[in-house]
């Protein structure tokens, strides 16, 4: 679920893309049946989630 607190969300696409850029080379994103995931990156799992017009990355563990 998306973060309900506006102060904890990226305020715009540029901030989000900059945060992704700071991660460096991330080559192990996978797309299985339309579900995009990143497993065990720095000990955590992530998933790209779409809800209506919103798209965001959710930390799974």
Average pLDDT over residues 13-23: 85
Whether residue 27 is predicted with pLDDT greater than 70 in this model: the reply is: no
Whole-number pLDDT of residue 47: 93
Dist. CA 20–CA 25, nearest whole Å:
9
Range of the domain at 20: 6-59
Structural domain includes residue 1: no
Percentage of the chain exceeding pLDDT 70: 90
Tally the domains of the chain: 1
Structural domain includes residue 51: yes
Structural domain includes residue 23: yes
Alpha-carbon distances, residue 60 vs 6, 12, 14, 37, 45 (angstroms): 20, 23, 23, 10, 5
The pTM of the full predicted model, rounded to 2 decimals, is 0.53
Structural domain includes residue 37: yes
Whether residue 1 is predicted with pLDDT greater than 60 in this model: the reply is: no
């Amino acid at each position: 679920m998306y973060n309900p607190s506006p102060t904890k969300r990226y305020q715009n696409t540029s901030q989000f893309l900059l945060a992704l850029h700071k991660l460096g080379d991330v080559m192990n994103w996978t797309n299985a049946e339309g579900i995009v995931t990143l497993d065990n990156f720095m000990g955590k799992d992530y998933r790209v989630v779409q809800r209506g017009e919103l798209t965001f990355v959710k930390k799974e563990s």
